[in-house]
Amino acid sequence: MCTVLVEVENLRKAYGSGPTAHLAIADISFEVGVGEFVCIVGPSGCGKTTLLRCLSGLMPPTSGFVKLHGTAIDRPPQEMGLVFQEYNRSLLPWMTVRRNVELPLKKKIRVAAERSRAVDDALAAVGLTGFGDRYPWQLSGGMQQRVAIARAMAYRPEILLMDEPFASLDAQTRIELEDLVLQVRHEFGVTVLFVTHDIDEAVYLADRIVVLSAPPCTVAEVLDVPLPTPRNQTATKALPEFAELRAHVYRQILGDR
């Protein structure tokens, strides 16, 4: 495997304490290499979002640790970009698209002209050139999520964490944004850690898939996805290897049900 970027070791998360504590994550360990696209899947309610919040530093684990470049994460690191499912809540409706994308850059890039170029590059990468003066509420859901991705990528993070970012979008828009993420990953050379409940999406996007068990969750399997690249929605999903991988992940998640 390539150089390790993120290490998750014996991560455990419980809500509350004592006999009434709710154990959401029992014990999770895995690694993410530089430049990898890793998807996390598991049964509904297994703790995928809780795990991502611990990985991002937004929520402390009860025990265990998450390391980035060998340093334990205890707050959201500057090297990390985040994209959430609820794009309409993550964008500021009173700010234009351009100002939303520019907002996290103000501390990193002091020169206004350089910030403007970074915003232009990010908007171009997600196909939103010419939409900078619009407001989020003037855009479709898919376009709003493109803005959220642009905002994350304008910062040029080393790793992009995405929490079911396309779950609330229609099927056609979802397909378009899956390919957009692969394109952005290639263009920016970013590592991606992507939580999804959609098995087809995980197999299509990932280099590796971390399959979680039922709650309180552990790692059931870490699965390589040796499908050819670049991926194509029609050709890739028609491959017998795609169907085999998809069926394997379904069996892991559903068990005997």
The answer to whether residue 10 sits within a structural domain is yes
The answer to whether residue 231 sits within a structural domain is yes
Tell me how far apart the alpha carbons of residues 14 and 21 are, in angstroms, rounded to a whole number: 6
Percent of the chain predicted with pLDDT > 70:
99
Residue 182 has pLDDT above 70, yes or no: yes
* Each residue's pLDDT tens digit, 38-97: 999 999 888 888 999 999 999 999 999 999 999 999 888 989 999 988 877 789 999 999
The answer to whether residue 28 sits within a structural domain is yes
Mean pLDDT of 245-250: 95
Domain extent for 232 = 1-75+195-257
The answer to whether residue 177 sits within a structural domain is no
Work out the angle at residue 221's Cα, subtended by the Cα atoms of residues 247 and 20, and round it to the nearest 5 degrees.
Answer: 115
The answer to whether residue 33 sits within a structural domain is yes
Number of structural domains (the chain) is 1
Exposure string over 83-100, b if 16+ CB within 10 A, otherwise e: bbbebeebbeeeebbbeb
**Contact between 79 and 91 (Cβ < 8 Å):** no
Strand order in the sheet with 4-15: 71-72, 63-68, 4-15, 22-33, 217-224, 208-212, 37-41, 191-195, 159-163, 80-83
**Contact between 145 and 178 (Cβ < 8 Å):** no
Mean pLDDT of 204-226: 94
Instruction: Identify the CATH number of the domain in which residue 201 sits.
Output: 3.40.50.300
The answer to whether residue 134 sits within a structural domain is no
Q: How much is the pLDDT for 1?
A: 52
**Contact between 13 and 50 (Cβ < 8 Å):** yes
Query: Which runs of E-coded beta strand occur in 120-235?
Result: 159-163, 191-195, 208-212, 217-224
Confidence band of 213 (pLDDT split at 50, 70, 90): very high
**Contact between 158 and 190 (Cβ < 8 Å):** yes
The answer to whether residue 85 sits within a structural domain is no
The answer to whether residue 254 sits within a structural domain is yes
Tell me how far apart the alpha carbons of residues 211 and 216 are, in angstroms, rounded to a whole number: 13
Instruction: Please name which of 28, 65, 30 lies closest in space to residue 222, comparing C-alpha atoms.
Output: 30
Q: What is the mean pLDDT of the chain?
A: 91
Burial class (CB in 10 A: 0-12, 13-18, 19+), 210: buried
